[in-house]
Amino acid sequence: MSTVQCCKCGQEKDAISGPTYGGPIGGELRERVCNACWLEWFNGFGVKVINEMQLSMRNPDHIQMLMIQMRLFLDMPERK
Ligand SMILES: [Zn+2]
């Protein structure tokens, strides 16, 4: 199994093994976030954000909002 230098926990840990989001963000997540931190977002805090902000994953504006929250949570600023 491959490892990544995770931008959230700062450790070298197992890379994401399960599903992420589609598109370029999925590739970026696999390069920058470890599996444990990803699951913390995907199964935990991310779900809470979707529920509390009442986001629809069919609405591109909502997806954008979710991505902003996710980058904050994962300490993963957009690449320049
Ligand atoms: Zn991590």
Bridge partner list, 3: 14
pLDDT digits (tens, 9 = 90+) for 14-38: 999 999 998 999 999 999 999 999 9
* Residue 38 belongs to domain spanning: 3-74
* 80: in domain: no
Q: Is residue 32 situated within a structural domain? A: yes
Ligand 1 mean position to 41 CA, how many Å?
11
Give the per-residue pLDDT at 80: 77
Report DSSP letters for 6-50, one per residue. Answer: -TTT-SEEEBP-S---SSHHHHHHHHH-BHHHHHIIIIIIHHHHH
Calpha distance 77→75 (Å, rounded): 6
Is 79 a member of any domain?
Answer: no
C-alpha 55 – ligand 1 centre gap (Å): 25
Residue 77 CA to ligand 1 center (angstroms) comes to: 15
Residues with CB in 5 Å of ion ligand 1: 6, 8-9, 34, 37
Q: Determine if the pTM surpasses 0.75.
A: yes
- Domains of the chain: total: 1
**CA-based R_g, the chain, Å:** 12
The Å distance, Cα 64 to ligand 1 centre, comes to 22
